[in-house]
Structure 1
Amino acid sequence: MEGRRIGRLASAAILLVLSCLAFQIRASDVIFYESFDESLEGRWIVSEKEDYEGVWKHSKSEGHEDYGLLVSEKAKKYAIVKELDENYSLKDGTVVLQYEVRLQNGLECGGAYLKYLRPQEAGWKPKEFNNESPYTIMFGPDKCGATNKVHFILKHKNPKTGEYVENHLKYPPSVPLDKLTHVYTAILTPDNEVRILVDGEEKKKANFLSADDFEPALVPAKTIPDPDDKKPEDWDERAKIPDPDAVKPDDWDEDAPMEIEDEEAVKPEGWLDDEPEEIDDPEATKPEDWDDEEDGEWEAPKIDNPKCETGPGCGEWKRPMKRNPAYKGKWHAPMIDNPNYKGIWKPRDIPNPDYFELDKPDFEPIAAVGIEIWTMQDGILFDNILITSDEKVAESYRATAWKPKFEVEKEKQKEEDAAPGSDGLTGVHKKVFDLLYKIADFPFLEPHKPKILDLIEKAESQPNITLGVLVAVAVVILSVFFKILFGGKKKDEDEGEKEGNAPRRRSTRRET
């Protein structure tokens, strides 16, 4: 009996030791974590540089007991930084950058991104942090005008020139523009990939060494167009030319009008020849302050003649115009293949003198985490900033620190949307806008993204025009699709042609 009790105690002790060891291992995976549960004082340093007048506050997230770092004033520049205990290398293994941000008053124009600073020059002090402070990675939401993206920018050192270049992720995801807490995650993996997650859902995957994923590319092209190559003077780029042997036919009449009167047209029965199309407004009266000497003789404004509404027409009847069958327009020689066509000229390629090979990005270490933004919006709340070497750790923080808050906020939003007289967007509207933002992220729509985002934002402020916006976005997508499908060719339209025998009424204008 005693032996079994001792055995159980020994097993419990072993489990306790293993649990502690597992906790230590898990804790060692966390490189940096800031929950903002404690005061900022003495830990985060506010920039003392000129122009950074925005006041940071240690504040609770609206509706929660959870604290965060708050942007408290509109139309200000903000800068604050926290140094890591030691520089952290990004060159080995997986690195996960994650943080939460809540746009409590929405986001009209401003940034809500983080800067992961590289080691600064000797003598640099955190209170000197500003937009010139060099960083390794900039990550997070930014929206203003046509800009609506979750930035991911890598500052990479060119091994040939020694200069640092900003390499921007192409086609980044859009920013969720509701007032809920969202969590942004960037996962850098040893196989040169970066994955961008929003609320735990992968929105973008890219390869650091791919020219298709970053602009400019980290690795330059092997060849470049020769800047000294010139197009020969006799180079003919015309694929088609007018047929030099063509002759205008003898019966081609270039002077025939496009339209002629329809001689077969007959004036409709009941046409009111003696009734004018417009009459004086019988209800109009001369204004009391009208001065005939200064303003001239007063005349009543014109209105459409109501008698014309019931008849087939009124005023002088004229035969309608029809297309002239003899019309041919100005003669042009038909186009034929150009026998001297050499194609579109381009300079020859030469080896790129700036080319270099790269197996992996030469990441600079992270020495500090900073927020340096300019925003027209207050109420931006940062929270739970995490740097870890384990995706599972980041996932657990999303599950425990972010998810509960998000679910509470989402339910509250649903209740507000369903409340009588609510001016907010309905749940259906929100789903529609979420879908539209996803559509705007399609790479083939990138040239039209600013226009699409502008349409979506107008609809968010005016929910009654949502249907019209859906139609407009559909038109843009179809236009792009047909341009891709048919190579941008358009059907020729002759807007000058008018057909039909219906009687024409002269256009009228009411004088006011």
Structure 2
Amino acid sequence: MAAVHVPLWAVCVLRVALATVYFQEEFLDGERWRNRWVQSTNDSQFGHFRLSSGKFYGHKEKDKGLQTTQNGRFYAISARFKPFSNKGKTLVIQYTVKHEQKMDCGGGYIKVFPADVDQKNLSGKSQYYIMFGPDICGFDIKKVHVILHFKNQYHSNKKPIRCKVDGFTHLYTLILRPDLTYEVKIDGQAIESGSIEYDWNLTSLKKMEKSLAESKDWEQDEEDKPQDWEKHFLDASANKPSDWNSELDGDWQAPMLQKPPYQDGLKPEGIDKDVWLHQKMKNTNYLTEYDLSEFENIGAIGLELWQVRSGTIFDNFLITDSEEYAENFGKATWGETKGPEREMDDIQAKEEVKKAHEEDEKELLMGNFDGKESNFKRFHRRNEL
């Protein structure tokens, strides 16, 4: 039988068609978004969201998203979907965020929660699986968070990933693969990638196959396992990351290290029972032992963050198992409106400059210019914030 040659485009279409979309939100049905999203009432001072495309946009309707509306507030809102496990599958999380207020200090990240999260009481203390997206505060913090919840602890990525700091809409994509690799994209371009195990400093959680030492305090003729033997102990050398915010990221805990199985008869002298030496052996099986990127009960996505100055717009949320689908979705949403958005902003900026010049000339003719800062300078200083 002759070989059948399938066009590459047909293969790509088939792969996208087989994609599983767990959650997708574009806010294209007006105020009915309120039927899908739950505003937390945990704190009466939580800020509120509205649907808006902002002061400038590429498409007035397509660019509408959830916008923060009150300065100096915490925000907490979430949407639920059918629970799923990403075991053995790629997990792609994607959304757009726009800081048109020129963010000075505040979060622009999202959180993915277990299905049993209490939406009405959502707060900074609510357990989450994944926290992903930009965080900006002053000159020091301009980073993309990628925090994973694993073995009852939150682990932050070691590699610094710089976020976008301008006032335009940007597309953020996180890809977690079953082979324990990951990729972070901004505006469709790969910014960082690597090993989940090593880039989250999870190597201490590897399976330990063989011990070389046990406690010096045990007698040589002792046959039973000591009563004070514990399977895990705190990593005393671990330090809390300098930019860890307990209010936003949750309480930080030092990672737990796993002691090797107790082996009777292996009792070298001179080693304290809380200090352990292990033989460095190549272990090809430990990667499947800990499932570093698997989450069994994913069921909600939300915004739980703080902002000094409001105005951020969140849109085009997507959770899927297909990198191709996410790429195409990004092109069909952000890709179609990014150009017109910048054009509209450029037109508005030119109009504001012209208006500022006209007001300065009017002030000068009226003799009211002495001791005043020009409107032109005020306009530019505002846009530098």
Could you tell me the TM-score, scaled by structure 2's length? 0.63
Question: Which position in structure 2 is the counterpart of 1:6?
Answer: none
Question: Which position in structure 1 is the counterpart of 2:314?
Answer: 382
Letter in 2 for 1:30: V
Residue 463 of structure 1, CA deviation: 11
Summarize the Cα distance change of 1:401–1:109 in structure 2 as closer, same or farther, 3 Å threshold.
same
CA contact (8 A) 1:167 1:218 kept: no
Matched, 1:184 2:172: yes
Matched, 1:214 2:200: yes
Partner Cα distance (1:381, 1:218) in 2? 39
Q: How many residues align?
A: 276
CA shift digits 1:227-285 (9 cap, x unpaired): x99xxxxxxxxxxxxxxxxxxxxxxxxxxxxxxxxxxxxxxxxxxxxxxxxxxxxxxxx
Summarize the Cα distance change of 1:191–1:422 in structure 2 as closer, same or farther, 3 Å threshold.
farther
Q: Which of 264, 272, 286 is equivalent to 1:357?
A: 286
Aligned Cα root-mean-square deviation (Å): 3.6
Matched, 1:62 2:55: yes
Q: Which of 83, 94, 98 is equivalent to 2:94?
A: 98
Partner Cα distance (2:343, 2:145) in 1? 29
Residue 53 of structure 1, CA deviation: 2.2
Matched, 1:367 2:304: no
Question: Which position in structure 2 is the counterpart of 1:114?
Answer: 110
Partner-residue secondary structure (3-state), 2:197: coil
Partner-residue secondary structure (3-state), 2:161: coil
CA contact (8 A) 2:207 2:286 kept: no
1:433-452 correspondence to structure 2 within 5 Å: none
Unaligned runs of 5+ in 1: 1-18, 158-163, 230-346, 424-459, 465-512
Partner Cα distance (1:27, 1:127) in 2? 34
Matched, 1:89 2:50: no
Summarize the Cα distance change of 1:375–1:349 in structure 2 as closer, same or farther, 3 Å threshold.
same
CA shift digits 1:453-476 (9 cap, x unpaired): xxxxxxx97999xxxxxxxxxxxx
Residue 420 of structure 1, CA deviation: 9.5
Higher RCO (C-alpha under 8 Å, 6+ residues apart)? 2
Letter in 1 for 2:145: H
CA shift digits 1:66-121 (9 cap, x unpaired): 3210101110011001111x21212122111000011110111010111100133x
CA contact (8 A) 1:172 1:204 kept: no
Partner Cα distance (2:23, 2:312) in 1? 22
Letter in 1 for 2:188: G
Matched, 1:152 2:140: no
CA contact (8 A) 2:40 2:76 kept: yes
Summarize the Cα distance change of 1:218–1:59 in structure 2 as closer, same or farther, 3 Å threshold.
farther
Residue 199 of structure 1, CA deviation: 0.2
Q: Which of 73, 76, 89 is equivalent to 2:70?
A: 73
Give the greater-gyration-radius structure (CA): 1
Residue 370 of structure 1, CA deviation: 1.1
Summarize the Cα distance change of 1:405–1:118 in structure 2 as closer, same or farther, 3 Å threshold.
same
Unaligned runs of 5+ in 2: 1-9, 217-273, 356-379
CA contact (8 A) 2:144 2:161 kept: yes
CA contact (8 A) 2:142 2:165 kept: no
Partner Cα distance (1:371, 1:139) in 2? 10
Matched, 1:129 2:122: yes
Question: Which position in structure 1 is the counterpart of 2:27?
Answer: 36
Could you tell me the TM-score, scaled by structure 1's length? 0.48
Residue 203 of structure 1, CA deviation: 0.4
Partner Cα distance (2:172, 2:154) in 1? 21
Summarize the Cα distance change of 1:463–1:409 in structure 2 as closer, same or farther, 3 Å threshold.
closer
Residue 43 of structure 1, CA deviation: 1.1
